[in-house]
Structure 1
Amino acid sequence: MSSTSSRFSFNHLISSPPPSPGLPALIPRHGKIAPTRSKRTYLRGVLWLLGVVVILYFGVSRIQLDHSVKQVGWANHAGDEYEMVGDSELPDFPTPVVVTDKRGRTKWTVSIPPGSAFPLEPYLYAEICTQNMEVANHVADMHAHMHRPHSHYGYYHVDPYFMDVAEAEEHGLLPGPKGKTSMKAQDGSVVGEYVDSLIVQDVCETSMTFVLETSDAGLGKTLMMLWTAYGLAQKEGRSFFVDDSRWAYGKYTSFFRPPPMPTCRPPPRHEMLPCPHHARHLLVSAATTPHTFGGAFNEEYEDPRKMEVYRQKPIFDMARAGYEALFHLADADRTYVDNRVAELRLRTLLEPPEPENGLVIGIHIRHGDRHPYEFQYRDSYVPLERYGEMARDLLHKTFNGTGPDNGENMAAEMRSLLVVASDDPDVYESDEFSHASRAQEQIRLASKTTLSASQPTGGSAIRKFVDETVGWEGGFFSGMFWSLGKPSSIPANAMETPETKLAATEEAFRLRELVGRAYMMDLAVLGEATDRIVCTVSSMGCKLLAVMMGWENAVVKEGWVNVDGDFEWRGVSW
């Protein structure tokens, strides 16, 4: 081969050979018509047209995304690497903001002005979470240069375009508080925080703060969320704090000992974000329940390999961890509960040589504004007879065949106790449970009937109000709760709910504290003293009692019995 033929050439890439120097023939050879355009020419035209369309499409999409940035972003003082997108100043209200670096790469963060009162109003936390999802989707569209439907993300999805508050402050995008490293007391009331200590602790690397604030007057949902949040924080390696600055029941330490404190201090309040969940410092409250304990949480932690209630065991274990760490009653109530539990247990003991002692069967009855799940009773309540029948069945199953000659152990049955706790004072006087023992007698919530009967019948003596007796007709109603301690001009009935934002008086907090302490001691006695518990799963107190009994006793050994339909234990309601 010659040197010219062996050299690499681009001639084979040319679409058509050079024109022949000969003159065209007047008559086509062999009678064929000369083609005017080749197929390759048409192909090149189509490719050029397709390329132009693609370029125009991406150009128009980019322009549209650039125009929509101003709807979600605000400006700030110039930063070192990033700058804000949109107007000229940060807003003076909590909101997500969009930032971009010098190369045009976009991220987003959450701006909570450092001077904002802590905690924020519950609706603001809910709005932040909703806005966060919208802004996160928008920024993702900007990086993809097109709008696309966003799929459902898992519970631990990490948004690569989210910038945490502390990182945004390092870049100069957010102002941050003055004297950030000082131990000056901040807004809010983190239980157990020592702000006057001479030892300055570092801010926790990651944390979770549970805010005890809810528009729901009941204590059950708050306790279940609190316990589950603690277990979740332990699983994620977060330091855990509790804030009680706006709790409707007053101070956390009026009911419990302070929670275990980590060896670091809480972060600045404006760094506590309700979402995204992978934020360094997470805030959890009733307003963020759908985001923290919603469907994604259940999908993550339910055991897909199990059936029925056994799917809930990982969530149950979280609540159990919170119960063991946080449910430590204040000293006076703890002493009473310990003595009461010992007294009830002592009453079931039999002298040797009896092989077994009696049982303590706890019965929790919730009335008021909580109605059963079961269809036929959803507008009323489960009949008291059903609780009594279930208690007798439990005694029969336990002691049948354990007595002499494999008969029924009547001595143990006679020594067994029924211990009742209810929000309805009339339950204690009913025919079914008038012979039963109360869970606790330290604080009694009495009905008007009981109060009237206790009034003097003669003379003009005026009966003094007794702290431990609060009129409570028919059970716990949220409207009645919010009316405690308010002026008599405000309606105090179960059908009309007063304004919950009005500042509570000292008298109101004193009465609320009595109601809360009675509820806590009822739970403590039933959870610690009883061998079996009969209750309705529609009541959150019933679910709490299962957690207090433990998985083995409540579920595996079936010591926790629901009489409200065929429903099973579930955790936080959202």
Structure 2
Amino acid sequence: MPRPAPLTATSAYKLPNYLVEQQELTPRTSRLRFSLEYGSHDEMGLLPGPLQLQPLLQSSSAFEFRKKETLDFVDDSDELEQPSKRGLLLLKYLPLGLCTVLAFVLLVSALVSYERPGVLDYYLSLNLTSNSTKIGNLIIDYSNRTSFPLKPLEYAEECWKHFRTAPPYHGDYWSIPANGFADALHPPPKSNSNQCNSTITYLLDGETVGLTAELAIMAQAAAFARERGSTFLVIDRHWNRGRWDGYFEPVENGQPGPEPGCHPPPPEELVACPRLARHWVITYQTAKFHLGHTFSEAYEDAHARGINRQRPIYERSRRSFLGAIRPNKHIRSLIAIARAELSGLNPTSGSSYVAVHIRRGDSGSQAWSYHGKQVPISEYVQTVQTLQQNNSSPFPIYIGSDSSSAIESLTKALETKQFVTLRTSSNPTLRSLAYPSSQPNGYLQSDWTSSGVAFQKWSTNERRRYMEGMLVDLALLSGLWNDDIGDHDSGTLKLTRLSKVICTIMSTICRVMALGLGFDHAFGDEKGLDWVEIDSKGGVEPVWEAFALSFAR
């Protein structure tokens, strides 16, 4: 068998310098390798002169091949020490090294931002643009405003301006940024002025929000004042429903604060955003900036589940309604009349009643099964009949609604005369407080705007009566302010206890109705639920929230 032709290097492959003289490559066998390594003699005369000792498939230009010194006449130390080779290796791994360092820096920055918010901003010394709020010297510019206090929508504009210009901040709800926070100018008060050092003020609206929805937000503002050690105040200058003291007691009666009797600050010192301002003002329009996700994270019970997460917020609201938000003497007398009529239906001592609220008007439903339409009367009827079947004795019912047709449909279907409503009350004073039947669509917020047709048609006395009727309904539907009534002119009242409430969650009155029951009775104890919501029926988490926010800009 003839010897195969030796392999030669092609033009596409260039041998290293130390193999230039060894261009002939011969295929190797295990026998040839054995002979070379162990010094066996060439019995058949097949051994060539120069032999390569590496596998044929390994490139002779590889670094590992050159590193192994197999031939005593090959010296590649100069090749290994060439600077160009080392430079190529550095360039090859440089991007990987830079990415590793950058990832480490970002990781450290994220950890620092999470553990100590504001520290990076402080050390980086962020510079704001010229038209930004001056965070460094704590000045909020009101030079383009001429009348104080501002209107609710104007304070909302100031909040939008603040959050557009202030640097992002992700600290705790009340933590102070390392580079300070914005505030209005506070000139030194006059001597002996007895001005409050720190205040939280609620600015009543009425134009864009209903009465109960506004009271629910106000309850949280009063809770903030208790928590922060600030004096709680109310301003009714822009309230289109009258004066606060026309329906309620002064808030300082139930919540005097740390400086009883102190005077409010000048209105130009009120600031809606940020909430760290010395004299913080809250409106329904600015509540969305303070009572959103960060509020829930700060005030919900993070260790509880379901509705129990809402308990701290529930207790804040309940305490405010029993303290800072209390009806005045005139409203309490009207509430007493309604309770007396309700007690007369079932004179048994210690009796209880069921409250049913039917919201019509501009309120829809939450459950998908109703497709946004109002919950039908049949749902109310079925729920009341179930309660009657489970109760050993009949109970009176208080019905509150903005629709006379809804009340008529419910009472007709129940076939009972043991109920009280403002519209059907035996007392003419209570009947005059019922929402006008001339509004067949029920309560519409647009009717209560200053430009609304109904608002302009009603006289001041009519608007006042309708407001009084809303408060009487709220008291009887929720069971709030029961202990504040005391004796009525007719003698000592045998007040009935609210045992169950039936309502739909899309109405803020339904949310407030839970507060008079107490948390355990409202949301579950050994006897079950006393707050019966018939719209979503527990299908949405959380099943109850203390307030509803407006996100309209």
Q: 1:330 aligns with which of 316, 328, 331?
A: 328
Indicate if the aligned counterparts of 1:214 and 1:285 stay in contact, CA closer than 8 A: no
Please say if residues 337 and 521 of structure 1, whose CA atoms lie closer than 8 Å, have aligned partners that are also in contact: yes
Q: 2:189 aligns with which of 175, 181, 185?
A: 181
8 A contact 1:224–1:319 mirrored in 2: yes
Query: Do residues 72 (structure 1) and 72 (structure 2) align?
Result: no
Q: Distance in 2 between matches of 1:326 and 1:133?
A: 31
Alignment correspondent of 1:265: 263
For residue 472 of structure 1, what is the aligned residue in structure 2?
439
Choose the corresponding residue for 2:376, options 377, 380, 383.
383
| Deviation sequence 1:331-354 (CA, Å, 0-9, x none) | 222112123213423432348xxx
Cα distance, 1:378 vs structure 2: 4.0
| Matches of 1:285 and 1:477, distance apart in 2 | 21
Counterpart in 2 of 1:521? 472
Matched, 1:425 2:416: no
Alignment partner for residue 362 of structure 1, among 355, 360, 381?
A: 355
Asked if the contact 1:444/1:470 (under 8 Å) is kept, the reply is no
SS of the aligned residue for 1:265 comes to coil
Query: Structure 1's 436 and 301: CA in aligned 2 closer, same or farther, altered over 3 A?
Result: same
Aligned to 2:512: 544
Distance 2:126 2:180 in 1: 21
The one-letter code of the counterpart of 1:471 is: S
Shift of residue 309, structure 1, vs aligned partner: 1.2
Aligned to 1:510: 461
Equivalent AA in structure 2 for residue 566 of structure 1: K
CA contact (8 A) 1:439 1:525 kept: no
Letter aligned with residue 292 of structure 2:
G
In structure 2, the CA distance between the partners of 1:444 and 1:378, relative to structure 1 (3 Å rule), is farther
Choose from 77, 97, 110 the match for 2:134: 97
CA contact (8 A) 1:231 1:320 kept: no
Pick closer, same or farther for the CA change 1:292–1:510 going to 2, 3 Å: farther
The aligned residue for residue 276 of structure 2 is 278
**Cα displacement (A) at 1:165:** 3.8
Which residue is equivalent to 2:306? Answer: 308
Counterpart in 1 of 2:28? none
For residues 193 and 200 of structure 2, the distance between their equivalents in structure 1, rounded to whole angstroms, comes to 20
Which residue of structure 2 aligns with residue 17 of structure 1? Answer: none
Partners in 2 of 1:31 and 1:446 — Cα distance?
Answer: 107
Q: Are residues 326 and 33 of structure 1, via their aligned partners in 2, closer, same or farther at CA, if it must alter by over 3 Å?
A: closer
**2: CA distance, partners of 1:32 / 1:328:** 95
SS of match in other structure, 1:154: coil
Q: 2:386 aligns with which of 388, 393, 407?
A: 393
Aligned to 2:490: none
Question: Shift in Å at residue 305 of structure 1?
Answer: 1.6
Corresponding letter in the other structure for 2:173: Y
Map of 2:535 onto structure 1: 564
Alignment TM-score, normalising by the size of structure 2: 0.65
Shift of 1:539: 0.8
Change (3 A) 1:235 1:214: same
Whether contact under 8 Å (2:138, 2:183) holds in the other structure is: no
Would the aligned equivalents of 1:213 and 1:246 in 2 still touch at CA under 8 Å? yes
Q: CA contact under 8 A between 2:202 and 2:218: conserved in structure 1?
A: yes
Contact 1:481 1:512 in 2 (8 A): no
Distance 1:32 1:525 in 2: 99
| Distance (Å, rounded) in 1 between the aligned partners of 2:517 and 2:226 | 21
CA displacement at 1:379 relative to structure 2: 3.8
Q: Distance in 2 between matches of 1:315 and 1:31?
A: 79
Q: Does the C-alpha gap of structure 1 residues 350 and 573 become closer, same or farther in structure 2, counting only changes over 3 Å?
A: closer
Partner of 1:157: 175
CA shift digits 1:225-254 (9 cap, x unpaired): 111211222122221000100012111112
CA deviation string 1:502-559 (max 9, x = no partner): xx87954433222211111111122235221111111101111111222233223421
1:226 aligns with 2:221: no
Cα displacement (A) at 1:66: 11
Identity across the alignment (%): 23
What displacement does 1:308 show?
1.5
Return 5+ residue gaps in structure 1 as ranges. Answer: 1-29, 55-64, 74-95, 100-106, 138-149, 170-175, 184-198, 352-356, 400-411, 448-467, 493-503
Q: CA deviation at 1:365?
A: 0.7
Deviations 1:356-415 (A, max 9, x none): x6531111111010011122324432122221221222233343xxxxxxxxxxxx32xx
The 3-state SS of whatever aligns with 2:536 is coil
Residues paired across the two proteins, number: 408
Structure 2 alignment gaps of length 5 or more: 1-74, 103-123, 480-495
Corresponding position of 1:438: 420
Q: Are the counterparts in 2 of residues 428 and 438 from structure 1 also a CA contact under 8 Å?
A: no
C-alpha RMSD over aligned residues = 3.7
> Partner letter of residue 516 of structure 1?
M
2:4 is matched with: none
Comparing 537-546 with 336-345, greater Cα deviation is found at 336-345
One-letter amino acid of the counterpart of residue 572, structure 1: F
SS of residue matched to 1:155? coil
Q: Any conservation in 1 of the 2:152–2:203 contact (CA below 8 Å)? A: no
Structure 2 CA distance for partners of 1:111 and 1:566, relative to 1, 3 Å: same
For the 8 Å contact 2:199–2:280, the answer to whether it is kept is yes
TM-superposed deviation, 1:135: 2.9
Q: Distance in 2 between matches of 1:386 and 1:366?
A: 13
Quote how far apart the aligned CAs of 1:125 are: 1.9
